[in-house]
Amino acid sequence: MRIRYLLPAPGIPLRGPSGASAHARGLTVALARAHAVDVVAARLADHRGVYGEPPPPAVEVGVGGWPAWLDQWRDAREIRTARRIARRVIDDARAGDVPDLVIERHSLFSDAGWRVHDTLGVPWVLEVNAPPCRERRRFERLRRPRLAAEWERAVLRAAPLVVCVSTWLRRWLVEDLGCRRVVRIPNGVTPRRGNRELGRARLGLDPDEPVIGFVGSMKPWHGVGRLGAVARRVGARLVLIGEQRPPERFLQPGEHLPENVLWTGHLASQGLADAVAALDVGLVPYREDAPPWFCPLKVLDYRAQGTPVVGTDVGDTAALTGTGGTIVPPDDDDALVEATQAWLGRRVAPHVRSWRQVGEEILAAASKASDG
């Protein structure tokens, strides 16, 4: 099968360090093992560098050289980028390279997949990882909210098949927007067997010391600042995986991290697997105000290595954790400490949900949608 994967968001470069970029890479690499996959992206990389394993063949068609003072016209840039992506796929098809399926990562002000679907008549799957209009209104600046809401609603309702990563998103898509066909397909991971001893040695950790950790970016609602107190109370070393030391703005008043906190920075797939395997407990300490629509990759990383999960009851964290850890109320610090203490020195059976499984589920849903 010939698959075109569309990545129209300028803020999600295919080779970027974020979870969104990792999702796009993981899925396309997995699909490419059994199918002919090409990626058409707004950007392949940005100032943060190049990350992850090489993806399938990819082309960048975004609008470059956009100065910061033109941010008030960000939506115009996104619209233009989406149309360039659609035009590239349509032109390639007219030259003989017709895709059998288009998968598009939904982003605000993109109608790229819709245009390709209408012009070529090929099946189109719209992949939803967040409600971008609501997300931008909350965390960034949305200059034309009415246009954004109308655009988002029209695109989502037009899609023959929408796949989403969380229970919250499925409810929103079905009940609030009235989308035609919606299937929940959670995220996956790149399956790698982590080496606990090697991971500890590379991180400079004692083989027997208690170690707790967190994987991912650090936003205020992630609750990373709470982990300093947890580490002190359970007598464990704290490891923060995935970023260099960020600004202290993610800490709440009164929160402090231990002086011996270990920051790993971004790790490649095998290094990440080894580091997660080195942890005694993997934490997901989201606060009550955390967005409920995410499907946290960190939980899947922990489960894949048999590292017990201690997380808060926000979004799909409990469903993803299953029997592999303990879920506590989102703002109960004592419960977080008690659960962490209880899991020190224990392991759980590894449970791997791979990107290959995710890809197979998307293709199965697309086939079912095409059959009516």
What is the Cα–Cα distance from 197 to 178, expressed in whole angstroms? 50
Instruction: Specify the pLDDT at position 67.
Output: 55
The residue ranking higher by pLDDT, 324 or 66, is 324
Is pLDDT above 70 for 69? no
Instruction: Specify the pLDDT at position 65.
Output: 56
What is the Cα–Cα distance from 112 to 302, expressed in whole angstroms? 35
Is pLDDT above 60 for 242? yes
pTM attached to this predicted model:
0.94
Instruction: Specify the pLDDT at position 218.
Output: 84
Instruction: Specify the pLDDT at position 6.
Output: 99
What is the Cα–Cα distance from 247 to 267, expressed in whole angstroms? 20
Domains and CATH numbers, the chain: 2-188+355-370 (3.40.50.2000), 196-343 (3.40.50.2000)
Is pLDDT above 60 for 168? yes
**What DSSP line would sit under 179-238, residue for residue?**
-S-EEE----B------HHHHHHHHT--TTS-EEEEES---GGG-GGGHHHHHHHHT-EE
- Give the model confidence (pLDDT) of 361-370 as tens digits: 999 999 999 8
What is the Cα–Cα distance from 255 to 224, expressed in whole angstroms? 9
- Give the model confidence (pLDDT) of 19-61 as tens digits: 899 999 999 999 999 999 999 999 999 888 888 888 999 999 9
Is pLDDT above 90 for 63? no
Mean pLDDT of the chain: 93
- Under a CB-based contact definition with an 8 Å cutoff, are residues 168 and 292 in contact? yes
The residue ranking higher by pLDDT, 220 or 168, is 168
The residue ranking higher by pLDDT, 183 or 289, is 183
Instruction: Specify the pLDDT at position 2.
Output: 98
Percentage of the chain exceeding pLDDT 70: 96
Please name which of 242, 296, 287 lies closest in space to residue 130, comparing C-alpha atoms: 296
Helix axes 196-203, 269-278, angle to 10 degrees: 100
- Give the model confidence (pLDDT) of 198-227 as tens digits: 999 999 999 999 999 999 988 888 999 999
- Give the model confidence (pLDDT) of 279-322 as tens digits: 999 999 999 999 999 999 999 999 999 999 999 999 999 999 99
The residue ranking higher by pLDDT, 132 or 252, is 132
- Give the model confidence (pLDDT) of 87-119 as tens digits: 999 999 999 999 999 999 999 999 999 999 999
What's the pLDDT band for 68 if we cut at 50, 70, 90? low
Please name which of 13, 4, 128 lies closest in space to residue 60, comparing C-alpha atoms: 13
**What DSSP line would sit under 70-92, residue for residue?**
GGGGHHHHHHHHHHHHHHHHHHH
Task: Give the pLDDT mean for 78-94.
Answer: 96
Please name which of 168, 110, 109, 129 lies closest in space to residue 23, comparing C-alpha atoms: 129
What's the pLDDT band for 70 if we cut at 50, 70, 90? low
The residue ranking higher by pLDDT, 139 or 216, is 216
Instruction: Specify the pLDDT at position 255.
Output: 79
Instruction: Specify the pLDDT at position 370.
Output: 85
Percentage of the chain exceeding pLDDT 90: 79
